[in-house]
Amino acid sequence: MTRPSSLDPPRDGAAMPAGTPAPTPSAMPAESPAETPAGTPPDLGWALAMVLRGWEVEVDEVLNGMPGGSRGYHLLTTVVHDGPPTQSALAERVAIDRTILTYLIDDLAEAGLVERRLDPNDRRARRVVATERGRSVLAEAQSRVSAVEDRLLAGISPTERDQFRDAAQRAARRIHETAPGTDPCAAVRSVLDAPTGPGRGSPDGGAREPRGRGAPGSAGAA
């Protein structure tokens, strides 16, 4: 019978010969990197469009009753966290046409969520101020929107969600600083109203009906 050599690999269950070094990490089989699902185009525009479409559709449902829908939500968020701004400053901050902005403020004021007040430093200007009811409504809305975002981004970890939100905010601020005339509402409309192919968007592969508010008082996309 041949005696086993110290160079022979140990049989299953056999102890390693004394003095034999343990396998180094480099000798371990490497994990294969995550693969992109088949048929998923690896481009940023497609990915952002899918996220935006999902966000707008689901958020519209949880913001039912918010004047102006998601656009009113963005406006109220800005007034609460960056306010109280003047109407002109608010128009620049949220990049909304000033005529549409006036209608939105009217709707929010009628609902008791904001008020227009004279600027004590400039009697010709008015500042948009959130009411206590407005702050309460926004806090509840933000909780619902956050839950939607967690569901929408369930494919990535909580840490990655926070990183995604932070990176998206920084990228958006940079774009707004370099091109303040950029209309985010146009991007939303182009995504929501564009024809979609089978398996990407509506189940029947057709175009979505345009949503949004063309006239004062209606809710919807920007």
In a domain, 131, yes or no: yes
In a domain, 114, yes or no: yes
In a domain, 9, yes or no: no
The answer to whether the beta carbons of residues 208 and 193 sit under 8 Å apart is: yes
What pLDDT is stored for residue 185 in this prediction?
Answer: 64
Residues 6+ positions from 192 with CB-CB distance below 8 Å: 53, 56, 57, 208, 210, 211, 212, 221
Count of domains forming the chain: 1
The answer to whether the beta carbons of residues 115 and 108 sit under 8 Å apart is: no
Whole-prediction pTM: 0.65
In a domain, 25, yes or no: no
What pLDDT is stored for residue 218 in this prediction?
Answer: 41
In a domain, 23, yes or no: no
Residues 6+ positions from 168 with CB-CB distance below 8 Å: none
Nearest residue to 63 (alpha-carbon basis) of 162, 151, 137: 137
CATH code of residue 135:
1.10.10.10
What pLDDT is stored for residue 91 in this prediction?
Answer: 85
Q: Is the pLDDT of residue 43 over 90?
A: no
**Domain membership of residue 142 as a residue range:** 43-193
Find where tokens 């979609």 sit.
Answer: 196
